[in-house]
Amino acid sequence: MSHQTLDMCGYNCPMPILKTKQALAKMDTKETIKVTCTDKGSKKDFVAFCNQLGHTLVSQEDDGNKFIFYIEKN
């Protein structure tokens, strides 16, 4: 299983979601992507994004002023 990373630090909504959506489109089912953001709104945005598109939000964590999301493509 491959694991991709996407650094969206310094970008505000909607860029983290748009770039994640583009990356997921190129991935295979069950692959995961790690997305790192600094936009506080990304916490609710990624929950809604995964619910809406059917991807699995495996985990999310706060690391200081960074928010890290692990998403599995479904």
Please provide the CATH number assigned to the domain covering 3-72. Answer: 3.30.110.40
Q: In terms of Cα–Cα distance, which of 35, 4, 19, 27 is closest to 74?
A: 27
Q: Is the pLDDT of residue 1 over 80?
A: no
State the catalytic residues.
13
Q: Which residue has the tokens 């709104």?
A: 41
Q: Residue 36: its pLDDT value, please? A: 97
22-74 confidence digits (pLDDT tens): 999 999 999 999 999 999 999 999 999 999 999 999 999 999 999 999 999 99
| Gap between the Cα atoms of 54 and 36, Å rounded | 20
Q: Residue 73: its pLDDT value, please? A: 97
For the chain, list the strands marked E by DSSP. 3-8, 32-37, 56-63, 66-72
Cis before 14 (ω within 30): yes
